[in-house]
Amino acid sequence: MITFFILLLGVGHNHAASLVHNSTGSLDELGVCHCSVVLPDSTFPADRFEMLQISNYNLTISVEKQISKIQHYESTLIIYMERLVNLTKRVEVMEMGGISYTELDFELVKLEIRQIEALILQMKTSMNGTNVLVEALYVEIHNLSITVSQLEVYDKNNVLVIRREIAALKKRLENCEKNQTNPKPDPPADSGTCQHGIITNISKPFIVQLNYYGFNYKSGGWGSDSLAGADQNIQWVAPMTTDARMMNYLRVYPSYNDLLMYQHNIDRGISSPNYGQGGGMIMFNKTMYYNCYNNGKLCKYNPQLNTMEPSVNLPNAAYNNRFSYSSSPYQDIDMASDEEGLWAIYSTEENAGNVIISKIDPITLAVKQTWNTTQYKPAATNAFMACGVLYVTRALSTKREEIFYMYDTKTNKEGWPRVPLEKPKENVQSLSYNPNDRKLYMYNEGYLVNYDLYFTSPQEDKSQI
């Protein structure tokens, strides 16, 4: 109950009294009327309370709306996630070249991706980006759409033509096999040892084949096991994504003949966070060693067992295309192997982008010893190790390269030889030496190429270096 006094002056008296429901009044000695007015509870706060009630009601409705919206989104999210998984699988199959897709397949997948993308975007904006699930889904679909548009640029007809060519080639190879029992020449008698000197000449290139994805996959690496004395039957091929950055697939063949005939392959998808970066990967002791994606670490993966070991930091190594080679991006850390073991060829800021060589422990990935050179890494097209000597190449033209720099880790001496090297295609993406057959393996714009190397006798070395 609220009680208050009103000073009533003669004129207003009747008017005021009619407004209130109940009043008690008395006149004082001056003739002024003192009135006590009693207002019932409900009258005073009513309109404000009503307002509050309405706005509360309004709020309740909007909260309920939001809740039902979220419930709706959650159920649609589940459906879209299923569709997305389905779609991802289909894109992967296309990417792996497992089916011969047509224009129509492509358009369908693209349409579906566009639909999902639009819906997720809508959800994202209406929920104001606060939902982690929606956010993740958005990233995923966005990635998928990038993959598909990358796939799209590959010439579909060419892929089909290549398949036909491969089929024809297989047949020819099978015939050839019958005629010639040993297509791969025997390795040199003293292979795996360092009785030979330095490289003086290189044979003409031997084009083994086009990588299994076709010539749009211009970057990658290939070879057999580069550990001296390792089983030389196993062949590995790692075409990278077309931006030359990521290694996410790897194929292993049980033999050289299987490689030639594209058969009996083991295909491995390498997933995040184990992606490789750049074309510097190598197989050593059945294990792939490579620069991990988007950091300065070394990764170690056994494709036959499909086992991944913890990555290890390569101290101070520059990465992410800081000091790559001139003809292949993201190859900041180039793994190499020779008669003496496993090496990393890379650069640091401290050495001003010049090549650094480190001997790597293949078990722990620790650096055993390091050598600084004076050769600026981005000025080279590639590099490899043979018998503890670093050989660095550069381009002379679109058809020719040369070894123009060498560094002997035993004597700490550098040299400037001029050993020419023919190349089938302009850009050398990776170059590595195998001490078992003493060949040089090159991934050359999608083609798997190798070379025989000619060495001096050890006595001749000293005059050269």
Ligand X SMILES: *[C@@H]1O[C@H](CO)[C@@H](O)[C@H](O)[C@H]1NC(C)=O
d(CA 373, CA 368): 17
DSSP annotation of 178: H
- Shortest Å, Cβ 391 to ligand X: 15
Select from 54, 63, 108, 118 the one that contacts ligand X (CB under 6 A).
54
Residue 87 main-chain phi, psi, to 5 deg = -65, -45
Site mask for ligand X (CB under 6 A), range 267-306, x = bound: -----x------------x---------------------
- Shortest Å, Cβ 55 to ligand X: 4
Q: Measuring CA to CA, how many Å separate 11 from each of 17, 45, 162, 263?
A: 12, 29, 109, 113
DSSP annotation of 458: G
Residue 299 · residue 283 · CB < 8 Å: no
Q: Which stretch binds ligand X (CB under 6 A): 174-182, 205-213, 253-261, 304-312?
A: 174-182
Q: Which stretch binds ligand X (CB under 6 A): 82-90, 247-255, 261-269, 439-447?
A: 82-90
- Shortest Å, Cβ 158 to ligand X: 25
- Shortest Å, Cβ 371 to ligand X: 6
Q: Which of 375, 409, 376, 377 is nearest to 390 (CA)?
A: 409
C-alpha angle 352-354-358 in degrees, rounded to nearest 5 = 115
Nearer to ligand X, 263 or 374 (CB): 374
Site mask for ligand X (CB under 6 A), range 197-226, x = bound: ----x-xx----------------------
d(CA 388, CA 411): 10
Select from 33, 35, 83, 376 the one that contacts ligand X (CB under 6 A).
83
With binding defined as CB under 6 A, does residue 362 bind ligand X? Answer: yes
Nearer to ligand X, 351 or 427 (CB): 351
**Residues contacting 155, CB < 8 A, separation 6+:** 216
Nearer to ligand X, 152 or 309 (CB): 309
Q: Which stretch binds ligand X (CB under 6 A): 42-50, 52-60, 207-215, 434-442?
A: 52-60
Peptide bond into 458 cis (omega under 30): no
Select from 78, 176, 304, 462 the one that contacts ligand X (CB under 6 A).
176
**Residues contacting 327, CB < 8 A, separation 6+:** 381, 382, 395, 426, 427, 428, 429
Q: Which helix (H) or strand (E) holds 222?
A: strand 220-224
Q: Which stretch binds ligand X (CB under 6 A): 2-10, 81-89, 328-336, 384-392?
A: 81-89
Q: Which residues bind ligand X (CB under 6 A)?
A: 22, 38, 54-55, 58, 82-83, 86, 128, 139-140, 143, 172, 175-176, 179, 201, 203-204, 227, 272, 285, 350-351, 362-363, 370-372
